Amino acid sequence: MTTQAPLEGLLVLDFSQFLAGPSAALRLADLGATVIKVERPVQGELCRQLYISDLEIDGDSTLFHTINRNKRSYAADLKSSSDLHKVRQLIARADVMIENFRPGVMERIGLGFDAVRALNQRIVYASVTGYGPRGPWVELPGQDLLAQSRSGLVWLSGDGGQGPVPVGLALADILTGAHMVQGILAALVRRGLGGTGGRVEVSLLESALDFQFEVLTTHLNDGGQPPRRAMFANAHAYLGAPYGIYATRDGHIALAMGSIETLAKALDCGALAPYFDRSTWFKQRDAIKQILKEHLVSQDTQYWLDRLVAVDYWCAPVMSWPELLAHEGFKTLDFLQDVRRSSGAVVRTTRCPIRIDGRRAGSALAAPKVGEHNAWVEQTFGITQAQETAHVV
């Protein structure tokens, strides 16, 4: 069995910043590609100073460290004809190029798809936008919360009495990055068959919409009814009782789909007897959930788990991060790794969630300093200096 990483030998140029594009490049790096992060000199990518907490490691935000490990940094001023000359040489050698500037910016720089393809017919050129390449929203900032809000996603979380509730993660960004990887790999497969590259385009809005494909399809076919969230313990606006999270005496328990009759017997909850008919599980959802709310708080989580697991009812404890990290079920996954910078700074972070041939990709290479690998890149790929160094206006 080969030990070679699946994408070993591929060169990826990551011109993107923030989350969606860089997360796609990160996954390609995890799978073996050489990823060079092309960023502006001195300050580097803006995400270096984008904080999701007040924690800073070795001069950069934890967000930057998380999303840019296993990459090399090449600092280049794209407004400089000298630097642009070098970048074009890199593009001529690359297999994949990723960018997430607003539509039209790369064309003005001279690195739009047509210009890049003239340099390299085999390249896969991947772009991220907020709301697609055209239309009335094309110039608006493509940011995760804004995309969630426009997509309707925020009306699916929270209880029925609440207003819109966003997902507490950069969901649209990460989904878009995953979709970009899918498109890039598909284009690379096609290139392997036909010899030419292609263009991959994804957007935050379309990825957020695709994430809702089940419930949006229901909406499109049920006369356009709005989603109806449960008034209590809502976990899915389109699923009936008992689906949700409930407080117990010492914590919380999650109940997924299953027969109310089986649930009532396992919990010894006679008050659920009027709701054994499947048709009531949505129509009387709030009444069923109210009964469960009052019943489950009487015992500890483990007490209920023991009774439910015994009858194969789908359930789980609601765990905190410390509880999860300490559990043998998590430790068995071997999901964490330490990555190290040349400065000696160490970052504890996650690993690639994909196993191939029983092996999970890993790398000890931490996110780079700005321009840390300029000399290595130029030597490795034979990058030469331009004859003229005039500044592009």
- What residues act catalytically? 173
Conformation bin of residue 68: beta by default, left when phi > 0, alpha when psi is -120 to 50 = alpha
- Calpha distance 125→8 (Å, rounded): 19
Q: Tokens 């074009």 sit at which residue?
A: 88
Contacts of 140 (CB under 8 A, 6+ apart): 130, 131, 146
Q: How far apart are CA 37 and CA 156, in angstroms?
A: 36
Q: Are 101 and 20 in contact (CB under 8 A)?
A: no
223 forms beta bridges with: none
**How far is Cα 248 from Cα 3, in angstroms, rounded to an integer?**
48
Cα distances (angstroms) measured from residue 355 to each of 33, 352, 362, 371: 16, 8, 10, 31
